[in-house]
Structure 1
Amino acid sequence: MKKFEELGLNESLLRAIGDLGFETPSEVQEKAIPLLLEKDTDIVALAQTGTGKTAAFGFPLIQKIDADNRNTQALILSPTRELCLQITNEIKLYSKYIKSLHTVAVYGGASITEQAREVKRGAQIIVATPGRMQDMINRGLVDISKIDFCVLDEADEMLNMGFYEDIVSILSTTPDEKCTWLFSATMPQEVARIAKEFMRKPLEITVGHKNSGSSTVSHEFYMVNARDRYEALKRLADANPDIFSVIFCRTKRDTQVVADKLIEDGYNAAALHGDLSQAQRDSVMKSFRNRQIQMLVATDVAARGIDVDNVTHVINYQLPDDIETYNHRSGRTGRAGKLGTSIVIITKSEIRKISAIEKVIKQKFEEKTIPSGIEICEIQLFHLANKIKDVEVDHGIDSYLPAIYEVLKDLSKEELIKKMVSVEFNRFINYYKKNRDLTAQTAGKDRKDASGFSSDGGAVRYFINIGSRDDFDWMTLKDFLRDTLGLGRDDVFKVDVKEGFSFFNTDAEHANAVLDTLNSMHLEGRRINVEISKNDGGSNNRRRDHNNRGGRRSESFGGGNKGGGRKEGSFERSSRRGEGREGRKGSGDRRPRRG
């Protein structure tokens, strides 16, 4: 892999890159930067969200701008206010050593007069949302008739949001001889039409496959009865104690309802949708970026442009109407090379949609069962133990310790640990011991009994003390275990990775080999510990072949569709009826509130 110094960037940019701590370029940066620096050309770059596209066009753009000329030379269009501000801030950081270069953000929800004044003072680069830019052009407040560069960032998102006419009008105002750089995660027809109409023999860069999902995102689905959708969401949150997630709903109303119920049930949650004021949106996003909110419930439109690092999960509480939107959703996690998980909660009637998504994103889903109460209690117990082990002691408590020792002096070490863990853990036991299994029953499959254990006992579930902090997701951990143990492709299953530990299943015949082999190993100097878990992780069946449930696979969700009139890659619109109202009439017993 190349270094930034090998891409042809000048000294001022390399100094800024060093200050930011960037070491090696991402794939899209390595491909785009030398190409854009070498020649004046149009370019179409297809890369998933979170792959470093801003730097890929920002670095060469800054280097090509004449900082001594105060006229506007470049326009960057982005879909949302949040992304507009983010790009502006990044461009300013990249150009920090070029004192006479000015970048101005132009977006709705702020004073258009003040933005026009900033542009008039001299803005070589304007970063704008399409609606506000069109408004400023109509009022004669900005002149882009002589720009040299136009960048369309997240082009597919802008067009999905209905900005096609604005973009066409804006591009028609710019000179024909400018360079147009189009960056997009996918290549729908509208984006291709823009490229054909306004670009001259554009070069194409593709990172990954067109319209495919990111390799850093694993995909899971959970099938439940419609009435259990909200309860399933809560269990998935409890089964991932360190969750930092975006939860997608179809409508503004459903978004607010789900967020309100999560808050009422003790989760750190908030809603993000179009009915919020700009001040409310800013407040929610600030809390989310600061991780004061763990579960952000959002509509697709409101979530456009969210760029927050370290999102662990994207949860599709309801599937969107088209596959491209699913791809955008899943792109909110697994960013900057980190691992992420995209979860889908579906009912039996929606199973055909999974096959359609797989075909487009070129990745397989793992079918999983909603964790039982016993499994969640076990996960929370190990999470608490890890939390206690890793906590940093504040020595401000030292003066109180003698009195505390006196109170606890009659307890043995074992009794003290039991009581300390029970203070936090009993609430999960009390809540989940009376809750039923949520996984939708499928024909021909044994169902767990009320205790959460499989009826035939043919599989063994294990706890292992390695997890996502060791750079494993379920796929890489499964491969590691299979290769280490010398087992077949399907002999390790039900792999569930948490931050500091994980669970997995094998058939009972492999139990002795698993314990003997893994308990004698070390990983990066740390001893691996494997124990048999008391819970089987749901049904001990391996992943079911959901592609052979009848009917051929199709990118649309209408079966045969004899008329052939539905748009390729779109979900069946009628599936929206009746969805999104599950779980509103009381969620049963309240989950124990988080401390």
Structure 2
Amino acid sequence: MNKFEQLGLNAEIVNAINDMGFESPSGVQEQAIPILLEKETDLVALAQTGTGKTAAFGFPLIQKINAVSKKTQGLILSPTRELCLQITNELKNYSKYIPQLNTVAIYGGSSITDQERQIKRGAQIIVATPGRMKDMVGRGMIDISEISYCVLDEADEMLNMGFFEDITAILSHTPQEKKTWLFSATMPKEVAVIAKKFMKNPEEITVGSKNEGTKNVSHEYYVSPGRDRYQALKRLADANPDIFSVIFCRTKRDTQKVAEKLIEDGYSAGAIHGDLSQNQRDLVMKSFRARQIQMLVATDVAARGIDVDDITHVINYQLPDEIETYTHRSGRTGRAGKSGVSMVIVSKSEVRKIKSIERIIKQSFEQKDIPSGEEICQVQLFHLANDIKDTKINHEIDPFLPQLEEILKDFTKEELIQKFFSVEFTRFFNYYKNASDLNSKVQNDNYSDNGDSTRFFINVGAKDGFDWMSLKDFLKEHLDLGRDGVSRVDVKDSFSFFNTDTVEKDKVIAAFENYQHEGRSVNVEITKGNSGGGGGRNRGGRKGGGGRGRRNDDFSSKNSGGGRRSSSRRSGSDGNKGGGARKSNIKSSISRRKNKKS
């Protein structure tokens, strides 16, 4: 008997499972499916991303739906368009032997009238994002007054994205006697509140500990001077030639900038964030799934729809604002029983946050040195050798062998190997031979006053809704000083301090002349002990004013998506544009062949 059949699933679903090649249920499936099949109960299930939560609620939901009736019986709410479409496709695969069953996706960025038409043709299951669902229910386009089951998938993320009111409004149109199944990777207070508000005596299952990271992922961190963060990223990529990764940034602007720089430097990279159109996002994700993109740079919100197998690495280019978000990020790799690596690039001042994350995920980080140029050259050289060893011979070249042998007849085997690998290695070596040691730069980076930094006072602080991280993001985007142009941000109650390079001081002052934030004037001044002092002059008596509120995002740029591919990479030193090392024709042909096979 099939292991899924032992859980109580019917033959139609088991046949679909066999077609998809699933052999054994995951932990969350093993616990959730029997409960949901045997009982009419509410359920709270906590399990990490990538542990098979969609099947855990999808199989029982499909089995309990009356496919003969055309009325809507099941509603699944998910945080993003990508995840909505992903769940819909999976449910269609699960129900392939139940032809009467129709699952429809409802999400923003697509024609609302087309979606209404699909619903009217009959949709026993609706998978929806909260915003579009609330809109259509409000317009009377969808009737959910008789649903039997409601699934809140990625509940923590929906609440983080501010959907509490939308979810409340949607559920007000559903019957009281329905059963609610809540699935989440973490259990912050907000999820506990929504469970209490909408559920009655729910069954609870937990795979691992609450908020705990998956055991299949190892965690590493690399300390880098702020201004060398991008160079550290490139070295991590070059030291892992087979990398297939998601790179996380905190803001849409940084996401786009990092992707564009990687593309410019010859990496197969792309960006996905909220400023892209749905068509752009679809194109980027299609390229990523086809492995035409090796490095996908993403914001946390956009990444919720990334469910791609065999991601080798997650790279935290910047740590998230919320520690719990790290669990979601690292869960992009190490899926379906495979191992993965989560890397974090931090400045010295951020190392303390690693300890906080360790307490949450109940796993330890290993501190590692940023790879040196010599190490990277060695890794790439032997990677090329293994690629050549594993390459299948193309016998189309056989007619040319006599001529090739004639050209190369004067060389020994050792000389041929040296010449062959020098085609690739010389370019690589030239790029990295003068590369600086980023690790020694960290040791010398003590944030001391070297006369090149100026400290500023600004009359906004915690009362205005800022913490040090959000204020730093605000200043970076408004001043356009680059990713690491603002440092040593110190937020007080009604005012704050920050540093920039002294050469930028006139630019900083000019940027805030006659500037208003949420209706009041912002004042920026150079402190008397400007070049590195901790607190500057005492501003305790100055009134901060202004209301509380979240950071203003008006400064985010709206650029189109990545997904492009660059055919070459400029050579240069580690600090210059260009600079990757994977550029030879041999390497490119191998990469292209690998992409085709994938």
The Cα of 1:443 is off from its aligned counterpart by: 6.5
Q: Secondary structure at the match of 2:422?
A: helix
Distance in structure 1 (CA, Å) of the matches to 2:167 and 2:262: 39
Closer/same/farther in 2, CA of residues 415 and 356 from structure 1, 3 Å limit = same
Q: Secondary structure at the match of 2:438?
A: coil
Distance in structure 2 (CA, Å) of the matches to 1:217 and 1:2: 29
Aligned match of 1:249: 249
Q: What is the CA deviation profile of residues 150-202 of structure 1, one whole-angstrom value per residue up to 9, with x for unaligned ones?
A: 01111111111111111111111111111101000001111111100100100
Match runs of 1:402-551 below 5 Å:
402-439=402-439
The Cα of 1:284 is off from its aligned counterpart by: 0.7
Distance in structure 2 (CA, Å) of the matches to 1:202 and 1:571: 39
Aligned match of 2:8: 8
State the AA in 1 paired with 2:140.
Answer: G
Closer/same/farther in 2, CA of residues 444 and 435 from structure 1, 3 Å limit = closer
Q: Secondary structure at the match of 1:369?
A: coil
Match runs of 1:212-361 below 5 Å:
212-361=212-361
Identify the range of structure 1 (27-36 vs 298-307) with the bigger mean alpha-carbon deviation.
Answer: 298-307
Q: Secondary structure at the match of 1:175?
A: coil
Aligned match of 1:98: 98
Q: What is the CA deviation profile of residues 449-506 of structure 1, one whole-angstrom value per residue up to 9, with x for unaligned ones?
A: xxxxxxxxxxxxxxxxxxxxxxxxxxxxxxxxxxxxxxxxxxxxxxxxxxxxxxxxxx
The Cα of 1:578 is off from its aligned counterpart by: 6.3
Distance in structure 2 (CA, Å) of the matches to 1:223 and 1:589: 22
Query: CA-atom RMSD, angstroms?
Result: 2.3
The Cα of 1:571 is off from its aligned counterpart by: 8.8
Q: Contact 2:254–2:483 at 8 Å: present in 1 too?
A: no
Q: Contact 1:323–1:571 at 8 Å: present in 2 too?
A: no
Distance in structure 1 (CA, Å) of the matches to 2:472 and 2:413: 57
Q: Contact 1:353–1:571 at 8 Å: present in 2 too?
A: no
Closer/same/farther in 2, CA of residues 444 and 166 from structure 1, 3 Å limit = closer
Aligned match of 1:189: 189
Q: Contact 1:2–1:30 at 8 Å: present in 2 too?
A: no
Q: Secondary structure at the match of 1:150?
A: strand
Q: Contact 1:77–1:153 at 8 Å: present in 2 too?
A: yes
Aligned match of 1:72: 72
The answer to whether 1:27 aligns with 2:27 is yes
Aligned match of 2:144: 144
Q: What is the CA deviation profile of residues 394-434 of structure 1, one whole-angstrom value per residue up to 9, with x for unaligned ones?
A: 22222332222222222221111111111111111111011
Q: What is the CA deviation profile of residues 240-277 of structure 1, one whole-angstrom value per residue up to 9, with x for unaligned ones?
A: 00111111111111111111111111111111122211
Distance in structure 2 (CA, Å) of the matches to 1:24 and 1:297: 33
Closer/same/farther in 2, CA of residues 442 and 377 from structure 1, 3 Å limit = closer
Distance in structure 2 (CA, Å) of the matches to 1:25 and 1:10: 15
Aligned match of 1:590: 578
Q: Contact 2:29–2:56 at 8 Å: present in 1 too?
A: yes
Q: Contact 2:119–2:142 at 8 Å: present in 1 too?
A: yes
State the AA in 1 paired with 2:183.
Answer: F
Q: What is the CA deviation profile of residues 93-143 of structure 1, one whole-angstrom value per residue up to 9, with x for unaligned ones?
A: 111111111111111111111111111111111111111110110110000
The Cα of 1:9 is off from its aligned counterpart by: 0.7
Aligned match of 1:118: 118
Closer/same/farther in 2, CA of residues 65 and 257 from structure 1, 3 Å limit = same
Aligned match of 2:496: none
Closer/same/farther in 2, CA of residues 571 and 12 from structure 1, 3 Å limit = farther
Closer/same/farther in 2, CA of residues 375 and 400 from structure 1, 3 Å limit = same
Distance in structure 2 (CA, Å) of the matches to 1:39 and 1:357: 37
Q: Contact 1:322–1:571 at 8 Å: present in 2 too?
A: no
Distance in structure 2 (CA, Å) of the matches to 1:363 and 1:149: 36
Q: Contact 1:231–1:583 at 8 Å: present in 2 too?
A: no
Aligned residue pair count: 474
Identify the range of structure 1 (572-581 vs 351-360) with the bigger mean alpha-carbon deviation.
Answer: 572-581
Q: What is the CA deviation profile of residues 487-544 of structure 1, one whole-angstrom value per residue up to 9, with x for unaligned ones?
A: xxxxxxxxxxxxxxxxxxxxxxxxxxxxxxxxxxxxxxxxxxxxxxxxxxxxxxxxxx
State the AA in 2 paired with 1:186.
Answer: T
Distance in structure 2 (CA, Å) of the matches to 1:148 and 1:225: 55
State the AA in 2 paired with 1:360.
Answer: I
Match runs of 1:329-408 below 5 Å:
329-408=329-408
Closer/same/farther in 2, CA of residues 127 and 440 from structure 1, 3 Å limit = farther
Distance in structure 1 (CA, Å) of the matches to 2:260 and 2:577: 16
Q: Secondary structure at the match of 1:309?
A: coil
The answer to whether 1:132 aligns with 2:132 is yes
Closer/same/farther in 2, CA of residues 131 and 390 from structure 1, 3 Å limit = same
Q: Secondary structure at the match of 1:169?
A: helix
Aligned match of 2:559: none
Q: TM-score, normalised by structure 2?
A: 0.76
Distance in structure 1 (CA, Å) of the matches to 2:21 and 2:2: 16
Q: Contact 1:372–1:437 at 8 Å: present in 2 too?
A: yes
Q: What is the CA deviation profile of residues 324-369 of structure 1, one whole-angstrom value per residue up to 9, with x for unaligned ones?
A: 1111111111111111111111111111101111111111000001
The Cα of 1:577 is off from its aligned counterpart by: 6.5
Closer/same/farther in 2, CA of residues 52 and 336 from structure 1, 3 Å limit = same
Q: Secondary structure at the match of 2:305?
A: coil
Q: TM-score, normalised by structure 1?
A: 0.77
Q: Secondary structure at the match of 2:415?
A: helix
Q: Contact 2:428–2:582 at 8 Å: present in 1 too?
A: no
Q: What is the CA deviation profile of residues 78-97 of structure 1, one whole-angstrom value per residue up to 9, with x for unaligned ones?
A: 11111111111111111111
Aligned match of 1:48: 48
Q: What is the CA deviation profile of residues 18-62 of structure 1, one whole-angstrom value per residue up to 9, with x for unaligned ones?
A: 111111101111111111100110000000110001111111111
Q: Contact 1:224–1:440 at 8 Å: present in 2 too?
A: no
Distance in structure 1 (CA, Å) of the matches to 2:388 and 2:363: 38
Closer/same/farther in 2, CA of residues 126 and 340 from structure 1, 3 Å limit = same
Q: Contact 1:151–1:183 at 8 Å: present in 2 too?
A: yes
Q: Contact 2:225–2:442 at 8 Å: present in 1 too?
A: no
Q: Secondary structure at the match of 2:204?
A: strand
Q: Contact 1:222–1:367 at 8 Å: present in 2 too?
A: yes
Q: Secondary structure at the match of 1:173?
A: coil
Aligned match of 1:551: none
Distance in structure 2 (CA, Å) of the matches to 1:443 and 1:430: 26
Distance in structure 1 (CA, Å) of the matches to 2:146 and 2:156: 26
State the AA in 2 paired with 1:23.
Answer: E
Distance in structure 2 (CA, Å) of the matches to 1:258 and 1:243: 17
Q: Contact 1:230–1:582 at 8 Å: present in 2 too?
A: no
Unaligned runs of at least 5 residues, structure 1: 446-562
Distance in structure 2 (CA, Å) of the matches to 1:163 and 1:42: 21
State the AA in 2 paired with 1:98.
Answer: I
Q: Contact 2:223–2:442 at 8 Å: present in 1 too?
A: no
Match runs of 1:142-221 below 5 Å:
142-221=142-221
Unaligned runs of at least 5 residues, structure 2: 446-461, 486-503, 505-573, 589-598
